[in-house]
Amino acid sequence: MNTKILKIVVIGLMAALCYISFMFLQIKIPTPGGFTSFHLGNTFCVLASLLLGGVSGGVAGAIGMGIGDLLDPSYVIVAPKTIILKLGIGIVTGLVAHRLFHIQHQQGKALWKAVFLSTLAGMLFNVIGEPIFSYFYTAFILGAPDNAAKALASWNAITTSINAIIAVILSTILYMVISPRLQHVGLLKKIAPKE
């Protein structure tokens, strides 16, 4: 199979996993400024970035969770914010994983450490960026009152932090479980970014 077609197929698969885990594995929380939620979508955005590289992984997350927002009346107005933030998670995770640690060449404990720190970097970007971006987006783009924007941002900080912890743990474990199998059949080399 052509490598470009294979990569597009895997991006689509990861986008679907982001969508499913965001839409169906979530707990919505209403706040005065809108909705926030606990979900597993970021897990697959980060996993996609580990497998495919930053931009491709971020695109998968942005597509999957962006579509999730667009199809849910509670979130449709924040879809642009989601798309930007998920692309950012992917880029940061992929940059650290593939440019700093070169995870394709790591093994054993060094690989565990590199994958863990890469996922942590992507989620740290989200933990910092989500509440800040949420406040400015809600207050200035959507025109919500300042107290409502602050309430949503503070709830987002809590849910984003919990989502981040879950995503770091699950995506690290998932990558460590599936990467040897993908490498064994030659797929990892075909879909991972070229150095």
Where helices occur in the chain by DSSP H, the ranges are 3-24, 41-52, 54-70, 79-94, 108-136, 146-184, 187-191
Amino acid residing at 54: G
pLDDT per residue as tens, the chain (195 positions): 688 999 999 999 999 999 999 999 888 888 766 677 889 999 999 999 999 999 999 999 999 999 999 999 988 998 999 999 999 999 999 999 999 999 999 999 999 999 999 999 999 999 999 999 989 998 999 898 998 888 888 888 888 999 999 999 999 999 999 999 999 998 888 888 876
Query: What distance separates the 2 farthest-apart alpha carbons in the chain?
Result: 55
pTM: 0.92
Amino acid residing at 67: I
Query: Which residues, other chains included, contact 68 with Cβ-Cβ below 8 Å and sequence gap of 6+?
Result: 18, 19, 22, 23, 41, 75, 82
Domains, the chain, ordered by start = 3-191 (1.10.1760.20)
> Between the CA of residue 194 and those of 14, 19, 62, what are the distances in Å?
19, 27, 22
* 117: nearest Cα among 86, 87, 95: 95
